[in-house]
Amino acid sequence: MRLIVGLGNPGSGYEKTRHNVGFRVIDLWCREMGVVLKRRLFSSKCLRTELQGRPIILLCPQTYMNRSGEAVRACSDYYDLDTGRILVVHDDLDLPLGRVKVVRARGAGGHKGVSSIIRHLGHSEFSRVKVGIGHPRYGEPVEDYVLAPFYADERGPAEKAIRVAVNACELFVLEGVESAMNQINCQNLTD
């Protein structure tokens, strides 16, 4: 069993924001698999399904970003998952738009959702798919930037990065984190 967590904020006002990239990755993956993420468990939208015969749980916490760890901990405890089976998908300010990076056992890097997960799990030994959102262009405060939609000229590259992130999740489930790192981290959609 693998747990794939997409981070974001609930509600239509946040739907297209940079901070909701994790939700968008899970949503696209669900559409491609022909499944619907609608069950309410662990203060989340949740789905237990399979990818090529391998059991997975898809989870989008509805706790707001800063409390994501509560949902992840509840789900991982319920299914008794070790941390090597958890993958968290989230936005990353320190990566340029168009970059997707798979990492394992890293710090939060200032991401409040990841910080919450580390705090609730008691460690950072889980894997992550970081989707680059770049930095503000026009001097916006970071808090406003992450809670705003992509600029018009960024929407195409953002959609491509979301597709690559889905591929990273599939690789994690089917081949493991090392394979996902080797195949995904060398890609740069800005080229």
Domain ranges in the chain? 2-184
Catalytic residue among 19, 90, 111, 120: 19
Q: Considering the entire predicted model, what is its pTM?
A: 0.96
The per-residue pLDDT for 190 is 67
Q: Classify residue 121 as left (phi > 0), alpha (psi -120 to 50) or beta.
A: alpha
Question: What is the CATH topology of the domain spanning 2-184?
Answer: Rossmann fold (3.40.50)
What tens digit of pLDDT does each residue of 11-44 get? 999 999 999 999 999 999 999 999 999 889 999 9
What tens digit of pLDDT does each residue of 100-142 get? 999 999 888 889 999 999 999 999 999 999 999 999 999 999 9
Coil vs helix vs strand at 39: strand
Mean pLDDT of the chain: 95
The per-residue pLDDT for 191 is 55
Distances in Å between the Cα of 134 and the Cα atoms of 89, 150, 168 are 16, 10, 19
Helices of type H across the chain: 21-33, 68-78, 112-121, 142-146, 155-175, 177-184
The yes-or-no answer on residue 120 being catalytic is no
The per-residue pLDDT for 123 is 94
